[in-house]
Chains A and B, each alone.
Chain A
């Protein structure tokens, strides 16, 4: 089933690429149609998870390279399910938002851009759905290729530098993960007789804690770069600022989640002892990320970079939630991953709309936009409020859960981290004040026009999800909680106080 879900965008990508270069509109239409079908398929498959109690659904397994214990194994649990849904929902919206981006850039072909996006979608589904660690690694690295070309070919003036930096950071992280992966394979060969990359077999092994501590680091390094955590974050602002808004959305919204996804789905189950051992350091790094990202976001003059740094701060919250290891904090972190994908995506896309009008990413070049384009300004505000976790919007629920869950085990940390929210309100609202309010300059009046129907079609679904999940978070939490509880049981940790997770079914 999941293979078919991946085949749809793969075939779509080939079809789009095979089109003659002149049929640009057809290429866009096919890409959009394919991505919508994929999104529906993903939602459908995720519904299979209900009532499974946190296990894996729609699993499949085919031998690939039996000599190395590698198989083509796919399956989704609650965490993978919601992330795949998030990713596949974002793709059609990114396609709509980036409908005319390639023509504006004037480099590369339309069909090239959209077939790269679809091929990226294949890998995004694959990386979340893989239940074979080698397969996970292959998708983890394979994702680099389309993103590299999306940045390097369709990016801004510094695109080559940004694409290179992105690729090298990711490759270095990937190589360390590869080393650990081989180490893990050797350990499994010693324990089980035959080496394997099967996630379930590996998670059921009990690895000697000293070995765990070493292998953990290789994976963590790769995930920390991907996530990105301070001090491995410096590639993100460059990559996000040089990409098209659509690419940035997928890069920060989905790809970076692979890092935090890997932490909760691979590090915790396979290296439980090491995860506990390293928790203090990682929590400290997470708090540093929260504040460092927020402070640098305040100092940015470029809107894309500002959002990128705000993401560094958000990822700090997610990592903190994962390693606090309470059911609330981990559910919150997982839910945070979904919400961050949507809210950051919305911000990138709206800023993209602004940039495409004014031709500048600088905050100082805007001002008074709400006078000339009130709806655009309103959309911008809602996206911003979602990013700063306003109560009533989905990100509030997740941030609250993360802080509450963390508070029950690390009071001081949770209290300190709460100040990060204040900073988030500061950089978002200050950016809003400087760009949207005030008296519009002549350049702004001349260039900035009201939001178009196409742009609304891209942004309204995201805002609907943000508000919808804010009011009914159970929709997602019902899927997430059972899996999180299972991971928690597997790690051998229990909540210090009785669970107060808003969902009834999970706990």
Chain B
């Protein structure tokens, strides 16, 4: 077999990983005072360049006829690196979504005017929390620019994850984007113990789930003698209901369902969401969900699409549990970040409906939902990072009382994000939910949609409760203030608001784009 490496097709990934390496060199050779500005230019520049390559790949003339290409009408549709990756319309859309989300998240991570001590990350995360060293580094105004290479590797891994076309590449991508996340989760400037606890939990459970994924891949390899999704699919048609196959599918599902935060693999979510620096939570909550669902969709549509009658019952149970438990537990939360974490679990449940549908409309509705959800999530956590008192972020719900009176603009944007999460019409959340519910009913999952509606009703309660708290209660006397951020956060929130509204009111262009990207190539 001739080895090939299609640089043009992989350019978006290569640019990001290359920039990550370059970013480490900046850490090594650029003086401390000018590192931040160099890193910012590098990160934003490489994201923009990478997005440019995605655009170039997406606008190339399609080789062949749309009818034989799963409905894709333009752009690349080819295997790269001997079939280890596949660049197709849906993959390009996911890459583009991830890079846009990463761009907005990078702006949030760059914010350094909200906290009087500096940015959201510890001055020196190697120092012990509460130690004299920590105090001195903080007093000198050190910042940890090492987050930028980590961030770039993470985004690079994520952009590879949904276009990986064999289990091994997918596993590598999984680790490339997970490890930096474990690290960054533990580097919060405030409440460092909580942050380190979150990091450790995320790491231990994440490693555990990665092992499941790897073990499952090995079992599938044992039966099919291949790692490639397309070949696995063909081999499974002949293999039939083998115990090894079912176990393998189950273990791979465990690994991926952990990443998306589905019940019963969700326990890490609230702790990690709460403990991580909020700007990172925004990135993780939005981008991990997109990348992981992209991969989940590809694996279960392409590799295990023919086995859907075997894995669907399991996914039904997981989806019902995820939607209900996510919504019910969110009601009992008193911390805004934990509440949003449980809401993200419920949303993972809704997204599973798109996986269960296993149809063209299931895929396109999931992509729409992911795009909409990603921006809403970033926006809502961006707002959370602005509500602060002397000790840092004020995340207890009672501290949010009367926010609408203190800062109507911020409270209104947060209300918009909550309405979008609740799925109220004219917000992006509604468009996504509508598309995914329709696809699920079309795919014969009507009972699931009924559960989803009940879960939405429960969820509406706690979203509305926060809105009531912000607008209809008197602010506490020593309550927190809404900090005026720099342009970084302002742009991030502004973009999120604009996307949430636009996709709610005029979704047609985006839908056209998604439909024209067709289904996964196999």
Contact = CB atoms under 8 A, between A and B. Distances in A.
Interface of A: 64-68, 137-138, 141-142, 149, 152-153, 159-160, 163-164, 167-168, 171-172, 175-176, 178-179, 182-183, 185-186, 189, 195
B473 interface: yes
Contacts of A65: 506-508, 511
18 contacts: A64-B508, A66-B508, A67-B508, A67-B515, A68-B435, A137-B425, A141-B425, A149-B471, A152-B471, A153-B471, A164-B472, A168-B460, A171-B464, A175-B456, A182-B434, A182-B438, A182-B449, A195-B438
A169 to B, nearest CB: 11
A171 B506 CA distance: 23
Contact of B438 (A64, A159, A175, A186): A186
Nearest to A155: B472
Given A137-B425, A164-B468, A171 B512 contact: no
B512 A141 contact: no
Contacts of A183: 441, 446
Contact of A138 (B426, B441, B461, B515): B426
Contacts of B456: 175
Contacts of A195: 438
Given A137-B425, A176-B453, A182 B508 contact: no
Nearest to B442: A186
Interface of B is mostly: helix
Contacts of B508: 64-67
A375 to B, nearest CB: 38
Contacts of B435: 68
B424 interface: yes
A218 B512 CA distance: 30
Given A168-B460, A178-B453, A182-B441, A68 B434 contact: yes
B511 A67 contact: yes
Contact of B473 (A142, A160, A167, A185): A160
B457 interface: yes
Contacts of B460: 168, 171-172, 175
B411 to A, nearest CB: 13
B449 A179 contact: yes
Contacts of B464: 164, 167-168, 171
A195 B365 CA distance: 15
A66 B442 CA distance: 18
A152 B472 contact: yes
B507 to A, nearest CB: 6
A64 B505 CA distance: 9
B436 to A, nearest CB: 10
Nearest to A67: B511
A179 B452 CA distance: 9
B300 interface: no
A138 B425 contact: yes
Contacts of A64: 508
A168 B434 CA distance: 20
Contacts of A138: 425-426
Given A65-B506, A67-B507, A67-B512, 6 more contacts: A138-B426, A163-B468, A167-B464, A171-B464, A172-B457, A175-B453
A186 B438 CA distance: 7
Contacts of A137: 425
Top 7 nearest A-B pairs (CB, nearest first) are A160-B472, A67-B511, A179-B453, A186-B441, A138-B425, A175-B457, A171-B460
Contact of A142 (B426, B453, B465): B426
A167 B419 CA distance: 13
Interface string B370-412: 0000000000000000000000000000000000000000000
B474 to A, nearest CB: 10
B421 to A, nearest CB: 13
A67 B513 CA distance: 11
Contacts of A179: 437, 449-450, 453
B433 to A, nearest CB: 9
A159 B472 contact: yes
A183 to B, nearest CB: 7
A141 B507 CA distance: 19
Interface in B172-221: none
A3 B511 CA distance: 26
B486 to A, nearest CB: 29
Contacts of A160: 468, 472-473
Contacts of B446: 183
Contacts of B441: 182-183, 186
A411 to B, nearest CB: 39
A152 B424 CA distance: 19
B472 A168 contact: no
A147 to B, nearest CB: 14
Given A138-B425, A142-B426, A168 B511 contact: no
A171 B457 CA distance: 8
Interface string B419-455: 0000011100000001101100110001001100100
B343 to A, nearest CB: 16
Contacts of B457: 171-172, 175
Contacts of A68: 434-435, 438, 511
A159 B442 CA distance: 42
A152 B404 CA distance: 13
A67 B506 CA distance: 11
A142 B430 CA distance: 13
Given A67-B515, A179-B453, A182-B437, A163 B442 contact: no
B250 to A, nearest CB: 31
Contacts of A167: 464
A175 B464 CA distance: 14
Nearest to A180: B453
A69 to B, nearest CB: 10
A185 B511 CA distance: 17
Contacts of B473: 160
Contacts of A172: 457, 460
B369 to A, nearest CB: 14
Nearest to B437: A182
A91 B446 CA distance: 42
Interface string B335-367: 000000000000000000000000000000000
A59 B272 CA distance: 54
Interface string B467-506: 0100111000000000000000000000000000000001
A182 B443 CA distance: 13
Contacts of B434: 68, 182
A141 B434 CA distance: 15
Contacts of B437: 179, 182
Pick from B456, B465, B472, B508 the residue with the most CB of A within 10 Å: B472
Nearest to A135: B425
A149 B471 CA distance: 9
Nearest to A218: B453
B461 A168 contact: yes
